[in-house]
């Protein structure tokens, strides 16, 4: 049986942010140049248009980051025409000003090529070579296939600068194409490695879970026949050990899956207050069996906005479940509060807090607990069960959703895990 092909991953969020800020700077820079004064009539038309174009492009990237390839291709085509127009106008100006413009414009060509290869997943090579052919056509139209000796000294200098540009730029395009291709091969190798790891874990999970389910069924049958307290305690220990094994297996599988760059979210409209209440209700019996209570809070003034968030409901549920599970492990008495509200400093994001009255976390351990396989044991609660992956999974999930997770805690004073997520992740 052949392996399924790897899915084409969406643009990385980091790349999209870089291109977004690049477009914003281009828009602001062009606006400043417009305000400070322009030399030619072509610039008086083109520079304001470029400022508006890249302002709209930056907005579209912020609003639709997954469509970066289409958005940037749409922006780069008119940019190419504008830059070729600048070269054509400068080549016709046989003065020192024309030579200066030709030399300065040629420097921005390299920036154009880099922007194309960084921003475009497909079509960068095509648009760069078409741009280069446009420059070559301008040279041939202006000066012919050979540099004529009848040209004035100033025109010859312009032709020389343009010829140097034409000689140097193919090497730049080929180098950028090679670097991009190398990056693509490295990424494909990484994806294949993660796919192999996931197949192995899926097989291992199946081979372990099948006998594990049989063990749990047998334990339930033995529990029906248990007569004495020692027998019931032994069966309880077996059931606890089997449940721990199942939890460890699930944590390791989920953490490994999150390392895959091709892993994708499934976003939809989500009622966050209802989801948080549902998760709290799920863990309430477990909390009450330990003498604890779980409270879910949502300010009434924020409820309307939170009822229609756009995010991955399953991942938000997993984040809440892991944080509540962690709170239950380290809380001996008191309550666990789940608070969900709009961020006070940014109403485009939601702040989810899980607050406990547990043992707290020392300052020196507060960064370490988000690392994989880290567990903090305390004499007051004894050895803590778990794989040490719960909070590491939370951190990975929050980052994939475009948010941040933070911690406020003092030893002996409880802990507050705060997750800041965009309402439109």
Tell me, what's the pLDDT at 295? 93
Q: Are 54 and 30 in contact (CB under 8 A)?
A: yes
**Does residue 232 surpass a pLDDT of 70?**
yes
Q: Are 102 and 87 in contact (CB under 8 A)?
A: yes
Between CA 264 and CA 381 the distance in angstroms is 38
| Selection from 238, 198, 263 nearest residue 397 by Cα | 263
**Residue 127: which pLDDT band, with cuts at 50, 70 and 90?**
very high
421 vs 159, higher pLDDT: 421
Tell me, what's the pLDDT at 319? 92
pTM above 0.75, yes or no: no
**Other CB atoms closer than 10 Å to residue 25's CB: what's the count?**
12
**Does residue 367 surpass a pLDDT of 90?**
no
Give the DSSP letter string of 296-316.
EE--HHHHHHHTTEEE-HHHH
Token digits for 359? Answer: 């043992």
pLDDT > 90: what percent of the chain? 24
Q: Are 212 and 156 in contact (CB under 8 A)?
A: no
Tell me, what's the pLDDT at 11? 47
Three-state DSSP state, 310: strand
**Does residue 153 surpass a pLDDT of 80?**
no
**Does residue 351 surpass a pLDDT of 90?**
yes
**Residue 1: which pLDDT band, with cuts at 50, 70 and 90?**
very low
Signed CA dihedral, 321, 322, 328, 331: sign only: negative
Which helix (H) or strand (E) covers residue 41, if one does?
helix 41-63
Between CA 198 and CA 195 the distance in angstroms is 5
Q: Mean pLDDT throughout 266-284?
A: 91
Kindly give the residue spans of alpha helices, DSSP state H, lying in 93-152: 96-119, 124-143
Token digits for 284? Answer: 């309430």
Q: Mean pLDDT throughout 77-105?
A: 85
Between CA 409 and CA 369 the distance in angstroms is 12
Three-state DSSP state, 273: helix
**Residue 148: which pLDDT band, with cuts at 50, 70 and 90?**
low
**Does residue 252 surpass a pLDDT of 60?**
yes
218 vs 387, higher pLDDT: 218
Give the CA distances from residue 28 to residues 32, 54, 407, in Å, rounded to whole numbers and listed in that order.
6, 9, 37
Between CA 171 and CA 210 the distance in angstroms is 58
Tell me, what's the pLDDT at 389? 80
Radius of gyration of the chain (CA): 30
Between CA 418 and CA 420 the distance in angstroms is 7
411: left (phi over 0), alpha (psi -120 to 50) or beta: beta
Q: Mean pLDDT throughout 381-408?
A: 81
Between CA 56 and CA 53 the distance in angstroms is 5
Three-state DSSP state, 167: helix
Between CA 101 and CA 89 the distance in angstroms is 9
Tell me, what's the pLDDT at 4? 39
Q: What is the DSSP letter of 378?
A: B
- Residue-wise pLDDT for 63-83, tens only, equals 888 888 899 999 999 999 999
Q: Mean pLDDT throughout 160-174?
A: 88
Q: At which residue do the structure tokens 């969900």 appear?
A: 340
393 Cβ contact list (under 8 Å, min separation 6): 251, 254, 255, 258, 318, 322
Highest mean pLDDT among 6-20, 123-137, 175-189: 123-137
- In this structure, the chain runs to a length of 425
Q: Mean pLDDT throughout 215-230?
A: 83
Tell me, what's the pLDDT at 147? 55
- Angle of the 96-119 helix axis to the 153-225 helix axis, nearest 10: 20
Q: What is the DSSP letter of 354?
A: E
- Residue-wise pLDDT for 24-64, tens only, equals 998 998 888 877 766 678 888 888 999 999 999 999 988 88
Tell me, what's the pLDDT at 8? 42
**Residue 256: which pLDDT band, with cuts at 50, 70 and 90?**
confident
Q: Mean pLDDT throughout 361-370?
A: 85
**Does residue 2 surpass a pLDDT of 70?**
no
Give the CA distances from residue 254 to residues 83, 186, 257, 263, in Å, rounded to whole numbers and listed in that order.
49, 24, 5, 11
Computed over every residue of the chain, the mean pLDDT equals 83
Q: Mean pLDDT throughout 163-177?
A: 89
Between CA 401 and CA 320 the distance in angstroms is 14
Q: What is the DSSP letter of 386?
A: S
Query: In angstroms, how far is the first alpha carbon of the chain from the final one?
Result: 37
Three-state DSSP state, 38: coil
């Amino acid at each position: 049986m052949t392996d399924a092909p790897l899915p084409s991953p969406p643009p990385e969020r980091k790349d999209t942010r870089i291109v977004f800020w690049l477009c914003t700077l281009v828009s602001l820079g062009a606006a400043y140049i417009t305000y400070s004064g322009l030399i030619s009539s072509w610039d008086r038309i083109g520079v304001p248009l470029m400022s508006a174009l890249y302002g709209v492009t930056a907005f579209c990237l912020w609003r639709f980051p997954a469509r970066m390839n289409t958005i940037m291709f749409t922006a780069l085509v008119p940019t190419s025409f504008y830059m070729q127009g600048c070269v054509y106008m400068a080549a016709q100006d046989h003065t020192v000003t024309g030579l200066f413009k030709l030399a300065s414009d040629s420097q921005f060509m390299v920036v154009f090529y880099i922007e194309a290869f960084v921003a475009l997943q497909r079509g960068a090579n095509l648009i760069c070579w078409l741009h280069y052919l446009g420059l070559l056509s301008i040279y041939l139209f202006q000066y012919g296939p050979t540099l004529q000796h009848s040209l004035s000294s100033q025109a010859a200098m312009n032709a020389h600068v343009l010829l140097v540009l034409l000689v140097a730029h193919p090497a730049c395009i080929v180098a950028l194409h090679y670097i991009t291709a190398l990056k693509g091969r490295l990424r494909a190798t990484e994806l294949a490695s993660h796919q192999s790891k996931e197949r192995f874990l899926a097989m291992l999970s199946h081979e372990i879970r099948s006998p594990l389910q049989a063990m749990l069924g047998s334990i339930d049958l033995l529990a029906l026949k248990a007569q004495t307290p020692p027998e019931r305690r032994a069966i309880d220990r077996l059931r606890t050990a089997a449940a721990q094994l199942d939890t460890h297996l699930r944590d390791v599988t989920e953490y490994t899956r999150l390392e895959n760059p091709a892993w994708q979210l499934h976003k939809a409209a989500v009622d966050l207050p209802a989801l948080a209440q549902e998760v709290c209700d799920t863990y309430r019996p477990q909390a009450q069996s330990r003498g604890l209570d779980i409270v879910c809070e949502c300010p009434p003034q924020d409820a309307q906005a939170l009822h229609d968030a756009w995010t991955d409901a399953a991942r938000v549920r997993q984040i809440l479940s892991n944080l509540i599970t962690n709170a239950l492990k380290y809380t001996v008495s008191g309550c666990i509060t789940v608070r969900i509200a709009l961020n006070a400093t940014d109403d485009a994001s939601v702040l989810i807090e899980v607050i406990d009255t547990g043992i707290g976390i020392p300052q020196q351990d507060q960064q370490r607990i988000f690392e994989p396989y880290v567990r903090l044991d305390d004499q007051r609660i004894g050895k803590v069960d778990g794989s040490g992956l719960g909070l590491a999974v939370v951190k990975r999930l929050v980052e994939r959703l475009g948010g941040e997770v933070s911690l406020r805690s003092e030893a002996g004073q409880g802990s507050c895990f705060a997750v800041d997520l965009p309402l439109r992740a």
